[in-house]
């Protein structure tokens, strides 16, 4: 059998995962894809806030009461997340979990804005500086009662990186993982060409407005077309500003290119929160990271180390 692409699609971590490997052995490919699914399920159990007895739920329950020991893998992920919070001045914050889904559920039943007073009270609990890490004891302490952490802004990217690492260890030199827009790829397609990713047109997500080569690197895209509601003629998307408790305005789509999916995933939200000018200034200072931002007026902005003309024809 000649080399071909074998794919598997699963709903995991509440998202659609597409995993692909290039192989000339169908049995080996199926084994690898099965192992990849088990790895994502393992991470889901590790980071879940929906399972009553999970470490993260126990950690949240003990907020303001006592530190909680967590797995080394979780501890190190929180450490890296804290560095991103510091770098983005809190625009990325694991403790966003205090924003209850009852505030913003982005479904058909949502017909009016939540109370500004309630939102303000909930965002008071969002503060990465109140997450205390103890390296020696491998514990995490949420200093204020009611605080909650969640991995929605970094977990999918982390899972994609873990699957890549696993598949490479199993001998798959070429493959890709797409975790609902958080992607990593390595090696090449079965044709020998680079992997390519497309950025969805935020006004028509079924159409691609840009394509990039993506080999041995990662990308993440977040747009206001993913989850949103219309209230009184205004579109409110799922990206919540951690200081106000209300959705950000002004940016339709953010795509980040980075060496790892975890980093790309974690940077999309803070870029939208920080706004174009501040975000571009930050990205321009990080080696190996680039971004494309589309504002509400369809104006396209890119970081210094990326040229749209080299990659794409703009169709917006």
> What pLDDT, on the 0 to 100 scale, is given for residue 5?
95
> pLDDT: is 58 or 236 the higher one?
58
> What pLDDT, on the 0 to 100 scale, is given for residue 313?
38
> What pLDDT, on the 0 to 100 scale, is given for residue 311?
43
pLDDT at residue 305 greater than cutoff 50: yes
Confidence of residue 51 (pLDDT cuts 50, 70, 90): confident
3-state secondary structure of 292: strand
> What pLDDT, on the 0 to 100 scale, is given for residue 121?
72
CATH architecture of the domain formed by 194-316: Roll (3.10)
> pLDDT: is 193 or 50 the higher one?
193
pLDDT at residue 103 greater than cutoff 60: no
pLDDT at residue 273 greater than cutoff 50: yes
Q: Write down the CATH superfamily of domain 55-142.
A: ApbE-like superfamily (1.10.3980.10)
Q: Where are the domains of the chain?
A: 55-142, 194-316
* DSSP secondary structure of 45-114: HHH-SSSTTSHHHHHHHTTTT--EE--HHHHHHHHHHHHHHHHTTTSS-GGGGGS-TTT---STT--SPP
> What pLDDT, on the 0 to 100 scale, is given for residue 108?
57
Confidence of residue 66 (pLDDT cuts 50, 70, 90): very high
When pLDDT is averaged across residues 176-202 and rounded to a whole number, the result is 88
> What pLDDT, on the 0 to 100 scale, is given for residue 45?
92
| Within this chain, domains 55-142 and 194-316 share the same CATH topology | no
Average pLDDT in the chain: 85
pLDDT at residue 245 greater than cutoff 60: yes
Per DSSP, helices labelled H in the chain are 26-47, 55-61, 72-87, 116-123, 155-169, 261-274, 276-283, 308-311
3-state secondary structure of 186: strand
Confidence of residue 200 (pLDDT cuts 50, 70, 90): confident
pLDDT at residue 308 greater than cutoff 70: no
pLDDT tens profile 282-292:
999 998 899 99
When pLDDT is averaged across residues 32-61 and rounded to a whole number, the result is 91
Give strand pairing partners of 301. 293
> What pLDDT, on the 0 to 100 scale, is given for residue 252?
85
> pLDDT: is 297 or 280 the higher one?
280
> What pLDDT, on the 0 to 100 scale, is given for residue 186?
96
Which single residue is written with the structure tokens 């060409």? 193
> What pLDDT, on the 0 to 100 scale, is given for residue 228?
54
pLDDT tens profile 248-267:
677 888 999 999 999 999 99
> What pLDDT, on the 0 to 100 scale, is given for residue 226?
59
pLDDT at residue 173 greater than cutoff 80: yes
Confidence of residue 316 (pLDDT cuts 50, 70, 90): very low
When pLDDT is averaged across residues 148-156 and rounded to a whole number, the result is 92
pLDDT at residue 157 greater than cutoff 70: yes
> pLDDT: is 113 or 267 the higher one?
267
When pLDDT is averaged across residues 136-145 and rounded to a whole number, the result is 96
User: Residue 106: what are its φ and ψ, rounded to 5°?
Assistant: 50, 50
Beta-carbon contacts of 219 under 8 Å, excluding residues fewer than 6 positions away, are 182, 183, 184, 197, 212, 255, 256, 257, 258, 261, 264
> What pLDDT, on the 0 to 100 scale, is given for residue 232?
57
> What pLDDT, on the 0 to 100 scale, is given for residue 98?
67
């Amino acid at each position: 059998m000649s080399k071909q692409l074998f794919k598997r699609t699963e709903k995991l971590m509440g998202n659609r995962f597409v995993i692909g490997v290039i192989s000339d052995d169908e049995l080996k490919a199926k084994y690898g894809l099965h192992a990849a699914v088990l790895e994502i399920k393992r991470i889901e159990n590790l980071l879940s806030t929906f399972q009553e007895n999970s470490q993260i739920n126990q950690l949240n329950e003990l907020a303001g009461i006592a530190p909680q020991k967590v797995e080394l893998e979780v501890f190190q992920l929180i450490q890296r997340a804290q560095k991103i919070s510091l770098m983005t001045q809190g625009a990325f914050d694991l403790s966003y979990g205090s924003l209850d889904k009852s505030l913003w559920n982005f479904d058909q039943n949502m017909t009016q804005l939540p109370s500004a007073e309630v939102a303000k009270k909930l965002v008071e609990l969002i503060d990465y500086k109140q997450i205390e890490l103890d390296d020696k004891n491998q514990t995490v302490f949420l200093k204020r009662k009611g605080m909650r952490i969640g991995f929605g802004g970094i977990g999918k990217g982390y899972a994609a990186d873990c699957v890549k690492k696993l598949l490479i260890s199993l001998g798959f030199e070429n493959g890709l993982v797409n975790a609902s827009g958080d992607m990593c790829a390595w090696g090449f397609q079965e044709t020998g060409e680079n992997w390519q990713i497309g950025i969805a047109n935020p006004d028509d997500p079924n159409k691609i407005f840009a394509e990039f080569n993506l080999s041995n690197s990662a990308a993440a895209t977040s747009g206001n077309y993913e989850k949103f509601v219309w209230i009184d003629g205004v579109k409110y998307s799922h990206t919540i500003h951690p200081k106000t408790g209300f959705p950000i305005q002004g940016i339709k789509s953010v795509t980040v290119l980075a060496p790892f999916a975890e980093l790309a995933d974690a940077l999309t939200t803070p870029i939208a929160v920080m706004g174009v000018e501040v975000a571009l200034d930050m990205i321009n200072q990080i080696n190996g990271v680039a971004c494309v931002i589309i504002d509400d007026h369809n104006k396209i902005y890119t970081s210094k180390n990326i040229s749209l003309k080299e990659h794409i024809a703009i169709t917006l």
